[in-house]
A and B are shown apart, each in its own frame.
Chain A
Amino acid sequence: MGRTSARGRRNGVRAARTAAALTQAELAVAVGVTRQTVVAVEAGDYAPSVYLALAIAQRLGGTVEALFGEPSEADRPGGGIEEEAAL
């Protein structure tokens, strides 16, 4: 897996974007990236830079913490790798 991976981290970008009635292409233009980058961010395949995360949050009217702060399965207490290993 490449360095650009966000290792399956969930985020709230897709939900916030649809709530704001924006298409992926419109959000991409607004924050100055390609549509493919927005797709990758929403899918959790790409961890955006702090500047891109701020731009996305600003355009969607939220905060970076609200959009990207949700812990991944592996980070949750009692969840993730240890729990899987115990099964």
Chain B
Amino acid sequence: MTAAEDEETMRREGWFVTAAGVVGDLGHPFYDEERQRDVWNEASAVGLQLMLWLTLAAATAMVWLGGAAALPYAVAVVVVDGAAAGVTVGYARRLGVRVEDVGGVLRLRLVPYGVLMVGLLVGVVRVAPPGGFFGGFARGMVLGSVGVVLWMVVSGMRARRRQGRDGS
């Protein structure tokens, strides 16, 4: 994307940014004070990450403790997590901030996510019924998750190799 296109994208807010502003109450006078806004943004980032960890842990516990009966609830939690993360990334992207460097995302801080994700997926495979909507959904979730993780690892390694070549 060119600089002119970036500028145009940021100028044209659109319904998504408007709706997100209403959800986040971003027009509140609290955000007028710049340090309050910055600190609150940092606090929100901490809260979002913690919420993602805790809800992923809750979904994993549901599958392991509740078995097949808990599968729909665990899937619902994962879908809600995905929606929240998607809106976060989408909002930033809409305003010209993109997480394009996958290599920079691959860090040790992702280990808790990885451990919880593996626990959840193994639990889902263990309890998923052979057929039906949730059986198919669970298998699709496992395959999709493995695909995303593989894509992140391969993209990250490529990005690091590219950075290494550029830096040398």
Interface residues of A (CB under 8 A from B): 2-4, 32-34, 36-37, 40, 46, 48-49, 52
Contacts and interface: CB of A to CB of B under 8 A. Distances in A.
Contacts of A34: 33, 35-36
B35 A2 contact: no
Interface in B29-44: 32-36, 38-39, 41-42
Decide if the interface of chain A is mainly helix, strand, loop or mixed.
loop
9 contacts: A2-B39, A3-B41, A4-B39, A33-B35, A34-B35, A34-B36, A40-B35, A48-B35, A49-B34
A4 B36 contact: no
Interface in B5-47: 32-36, 38-39, 41-42
Contacts, number: 30
Contacts of A48: 34-35
A80 B35 CA distance: 27
B34 A52 contact: yes
Contacts of B35: 4, 33-34, 36-37, 40, 46, 48
Contacts of A37: 33-36
A36 B38 CA distance: 13
A33 B35 CA distance: 8
B42 A4 contact: yes
Contacts of B36: 34, 37
B119 to A, nearest CB: 31
B43 to A, nearest CB: 9
Contacts of A3: 38, 41-42
Contacts of A52: 34
